[in-house]
Every structure is written in structure tokens, then in C-alpha cells.
Amino acid sequence: MKGSERLDYKAAGVDIDLADEFIRRIGPVAASTRTDLSMDAIGSFAGMIRLDGNRWREPVLVACTDGVGTKLKLAFETGDHSGIGIDLVAMSVNDLLVTGATPVAFLDYLATSRLELENHTAVIESIAEGCRQSGCALVGGETAELPGFYSAREYDLAGFALGVVEKSEILSPDNVIAGDWIIGIPSDGIHSNGYSLVRKIFEDRNRFPLDQPLRGMKEPLGRVLLKPTRIYRPELAAALAAGGLKSAAHITGGGIPGNLPRAIPKHLGICLVEHSWPVPEIFRQMQDIGEIEDQEMYRTFNMGLGMMLVVSPDRAHALIQSLEGGGYSAHVVGWIDAEPGLRRVKKFDPPTPVTGKCGSIGTRKSTAIPRIAVLGSGRGSNMESLCEAIDRDDLHASIACVISNNSKAFILERARCRGIPAVHLSGKTHPGNESSALQDVLKHYRIDAIVLAGYMKKLSPEIVEEYRDRIFNIHPALLPAFGGPGMYGMNVHRAVLRSGAVFSGVTVHRVDEDYDTGYIVAQRVVQVLPGDSPEMLAARVLKQEHDLYWRVLEKALHPGSA
């Protein structure tokens, strides 16, 4: 230190008096966000929130964090900080809402090189506004003064949201089945993603002054670009109240292709109907000015939909009415498809899931009912006969999904008609990892037993091991004769007739690592008649299959019951 020059914290860049004044100013701002769950802080080291025992029986805490990104640069440039805090809250709260949670608390972190009373108070005021919109109490925050760390007059923001959801009401991809509808709720513009590209498109200030509107638009460009992200709390509340909401996606970085698939099971797909929602003008202008490809636009921006809901079709209209009743618009924009991937389609033509007794929906809540997966490669008549047995109450099981390695197999069509999730899974859909994808699907549907009915693939040793003694197959002959590789369908009956055997029949056996060698659970004899063709014999055998399989499964799945 030289001569009389005294070094203190202020000289080093941190003004404690100013910080005290800042805290004095933002105290009432934070207080304005109090909710019925707020508590008077005991001491002031941490924020507290009360969980109301009357509101939640089994409360689950949900936590999210996010920032605003380079949209901040536009706030610095325009000096308008009045919406940036809403963006901050929205980014976390919207992520939290898609779990079905109610936001209850928020904390912020503002970091800057030098505290600026006016600007930074405006930021906190806008955070408080976001909190009020989302029903969160602003229970804490940190303003970090880091001299020389950030460029002059710049700051960064981070936010943390806490929510609560009743455990049994968590929205999850697990609830989604093929045929569910997708409803899109409009965004309020660009929200808080893609701003590196936005700023690049409009970087020439001579051409694009922020205080002037773009051609054909009314508001100045700066205001359009700084429009705060919409907080979807009221929309989600209306949708939850209407019932039928299964899952939801907040459309942020990555756009619809990057976010909607996160709201559905991996083995299902998405069909989006072209032109089914209005794309706001700002996106069109950005695409034109930047000469940006369509695909790039859709994977960078929300393109007019900030929140997407996956809804049971029978509740979709009630849900839309509930949203519209609250003054919010909503568009039916597509459906969940049995084939994985995201496709654009010309018209709305979803399959109609029927929630029959053997479908997964009707029985989802029951724990006593074993959940079975039926695997087949062909017409699926055995699957149908199992469904009929379930409908008659003869077989106490739920077919939680039907899986085929053949996309054209009629068994998938039958499943869809009955509202059963129909999954096509093969080397084509999952190159190199078919077997682990199959395991994932079985896990996803919480399968208790696997029922093979004309499935032309060998199960992997891992699956056989995991479901040992809980995998069944039906074979159209009396094993151990006429079994093994290549012995399926009509080949079996041809071999029986060629051999001159006077009896054939049906075998239900457990599946082990080899072909048709597992423990035989039941057999039924079918007489070979003089003049039988393979088709004639097959028809009589099949009739017995339909009568035998459900009986054997009922016994095997409920040992000990009468």
C-alpha cells in the first residue's frame, strides 16, 4: 500500500452501504409475494414454507432451476428490466408445472460486478411479479457483487423453484398410450430460448433499431423480443381440474422436437398436424430475415406453443372447454402414435383407444391383477381370446401392452382397437438394441408375466432370466415332438401330417433359453382326421388353443385359487 491510501471493501469494489439500501428496498418487494403457505422467517439465514397437511396427503417436493440466458443482453441494451425477472421465474416454474406440481416457493441469485440500485431493484420487482403470477413466495435470494467479474452494467440471473405434488397425481409419460391427444397452449412469443440466434438475426442496429417496429408489426422490436415468458400456472390448474391430463411438456430450448418426446414413453411416437396452430408473426419474420430452414426454426424456438398437454381423448373436449372458460386458447395439434418418432401429418386422424377391461387403463389401479404383455408376430387370435376371457371375468389379468416385431401384424391393430398400448419393436426400430428396448418396454408397463402367442423371435437370455417361470408360450402341436427352430405356424401342421401321426394337439409351456424346451404346463390332444390338410388341422388346433391358453394362464397366475 502506498502512502496514506487506505484500502477498504468499498475501494475494492463492494459497497456495503449500497447493498444495505438495496436490501431495504427489496424487502417489501419480496413481502408482496407472501402466500398462505408463507412463514415468518425465523432468523434470516433461510426461507421457510409450510406444507399444508389438509391439502396434500402424500406430498412430493419438486425442485427446478434455470436462468434466462442471453435474452439478458437485450435487457442491458434497452435498459428495460421490467420483464426479465418474469422470464426467470417462468423458466423454472413451467418446468415444475409439467409434473403436475403447485409452485410454492422461489429463490433467485443475481450476480453482477457492481450493484446498481435502480436497475437491480427493477429486476427483483419483476421476479416478484413472476412469483405472484405463479403463486410462489419469494422466500430468499442472493445478490452477489463480484467486482471485475462481469462486464460493466451487466448481470446474470439464476432461479430456483420449489413445488409440491400429491404423489398419486404426478403427471408422467407412463400414463400415455397411443391414441391420446396432444393439445398445444400458445406462447407469448419467443419466451427465453434461442436468443443467441435471435440476436444474430437482428444484430444490425441500422436495419433493426429496437425502438422501431418491424415492417407489418405494431410494437417496437425491443418490446417484442423482451416480451416475458408466459407462466402457465392458471392453464395447468384449469387442465388438471378438468381431468384427463396425463403428461405435459414445457417447450423450451430444443423446441417441440426436443421437449415433447420427453413427455411420452420412448416406444411411442408423435403425429403433429400441419398448420393446426397459428405461428406468431415474429417467428415468420425471423425465418425470412435470417433465411433459416424450417427444421432449424422448430428445433430452436417454440413456434407459437409454449406448453403442450397429452390428454385422454374422452376428456379432451372438457379440458379445452375448461381452458377456454378461463380465457385461454388451446389447439388440438396431434396425437400419440404407436410408432416411435415425430411425424408431421396433413389431417387429424388419431386411432381411437377403447378403454376395455383388458386394456391398461381400466385395470391400472388394481394391484392384485397381474399385468401381462402379449408378444405376437401375426394375426393375434390368441390375444383376442385372452381379451375375451378377461371380459368374461374368466381370466383375472390385465393386458398392459401388446408387442410385435412386425409393424404390419394384425395383433397390433387388434390391440389398438381395444385401447391396449400396441408397441412395434424390432431391429429396424431399435437397431442394435432391440432386446434392451424390449426390456425397457416391459419395465415401463410394469409387466408381471409375458405371454407369447405366435411370436417369431427368441427372447434374450437376460429377459428369460429376469422373468423366469413367468414367460409362457403356446405351441400348435404336442411337444417335445414338432418343436424347435423353424417349427411355427403351418410348418408344424405340415410336419405332423407328413409324419403320419394320428394325434396332434396344443402345448402351453414355460419359456427357457432354448426353442420349445421349457417346462410343459398343459397339453390338449387334437385328433388327426383322414384327409386332413394342414389348414384343416390348424383350424381345429387353433380352436383348442383359444380354449386352453386362458385356463392355463388363470391357474398359473393365480396358483392356489379355486
* Active-site residue identified among 424, 475, 493, 509: 475
CB of 427 to ligand GAR, least distance (A): 20
- The DSSP symbol for 490 reads H
- Cα angle: 238, vertex 239, 241; to 5 degrees: 65
Closer to ligand GAR by Cβ: residue 187 or 544:
544
Closer to ligand GAR by Cβ: residue 45 or 519:
519
145 by DSSP, 3-state: which?
Answer: strand
CB of 470 to ligand GAR, least distance (A): 18
Backbone region of residue 290 per phi and psi (left: phi > 0; alpha: psi in -120 to 50; beta: other values): alpha
Contacts of 204 (CB under 8 A, 6+ apart): none
Phi, psi of 129 (to 5 degrees): -60, -45
CB of 379 to ligand GAR, least distance (A): 4
CB of 484 to ligand GAR, least distance (A): 9
Closer to ligand GAR by Cβ: residue 165 or 495:
495
**Alpha helices (H) in 342-380, listed in sequence order:** 360-363
- Identity at 392, one-letter amino acid code: R
Closer to ligand GAR by Cβ: residue 129 or 545:
545
CA torsion sign for 475, 478, 479, 483 is: negative
CB of 368 to ligand GAR, least distance (A): 27
CB nearest ligand GAR: which residue? 454
**Alpha helices (H) in 263-343, listed in sequence order:** 281-290, 294-300, 313-325
> Active-site residue 475, yes or no?
yes
Residues that bind ligand GAR (CB under 6 A): 376, 378-382, 411, 453-454, 474-476, 487-489, 492, 542, 545
CB of 502 to ligand GAR, least distance (A): 20
**End-to-end CA, the chain:** 94
Q: Are 232 and 143 in contact (CB under 8 A)?
A: no
Closer to ligand GAR by Cβ: residue 265 or 476:
476
Cell of 234: 392458471
Closer to ligand GAR by Cβ: residue 271 or 451:
451
Please give the C-alpha separations between residue 107 and each of 85, 250, 390, 551, in angstroms, as whole numbers: 11, 20, 52, 59
Judge if the upstream peptide bond of residue 480 is cis by omega within 30 degrees of 0. Answer: yes
Query: Catalytic residues, which ones?
Result: 475
